[in-house]
């Protein structure tokens, strides 16, 4: 399944007043992530810096000098899976240059994400974003 549109996610967050409901929504987002096959959950795809296990893969959708990258992500934790879903909604299926130019912090601030997740999850999310941007940078260098 393709990731949800980030604007739709933001609207849904704004609709939910209570952070308990927002956590439930995060879990729902994680549950609809594109399935990552077990053979892709390997050390090379593991995101370092996350307390929970998180894996990320990318593939170029086209052969352009500035390719569109499709990401798959997974986690062994429900809320973290939701954070992965948000990151993929921001970055997946976009040109590598657009990924590098994206200000994810501004998006996270729109849903007050950094204020409501633990420092460990926040650090893990930063590690995931760094890894996504590393994939984008590498795709531009090829």
In a domain, 86, yes or no: yes
Confidence of residue 1 (pLDDT cuts 50, 70, 90): very low
Three-class SS state of 19 = helix
Residue 72: beta bridge partners? 57
In a domain, 48, yes or no: yes
In a domain, 90, yes or no: yes
Number of domains in the chain: 1
Length of the chain: 142
In a domain, 1, yes or no: no
Per residue in 81-108, is it b (16+ CB within 10 Å) or e — as a string?
bbbbbbbbbbbbebbbeebbebebeebb
Q: Which domain covers residue 24, as residue numbers?
A: 6-141
Q: Catalytic: which of 6, 26, 47, 50?
A: 50
The rounded mean pLDDT for the chain is 92
User: Which CATH number covers residue 27?
Assistant: 3.90.1010.10
Q: Is 99 a catalytic residue?
A: no
Predicted TM-score (pTM) of this structure: 0.94
């Amino acid at each position: 399944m393709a990731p949800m549109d980030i604007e739709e996610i933001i609207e849904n967050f704004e609709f939910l007043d209570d952070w308990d409901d927002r956590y439930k929504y995060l879990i729902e987002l994680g549950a609809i992530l594109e399935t990552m096959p077990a053979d892709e959950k390997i050390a090379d795809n593991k995101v370092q810096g996350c307390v929970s296990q998180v894996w990320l893969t990318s593939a170029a959708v086209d052969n352009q000098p500035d390719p569109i990258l499709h990401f798959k992500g997974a986690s062994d934790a429900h809320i973290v899976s939701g954070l992965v879903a948000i990151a993929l909604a921001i970055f997946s299926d976009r040109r590598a240059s657009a990924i590098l130019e994206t200000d994810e912090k501004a998006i996270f601030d729109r849903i007050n994400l950094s204020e409501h997740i633990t420092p460990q999850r926040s650090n893990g999310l930063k590690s995931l974003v760094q890894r996504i941007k590393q994939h984008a940078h590498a795709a531009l260098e090829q």
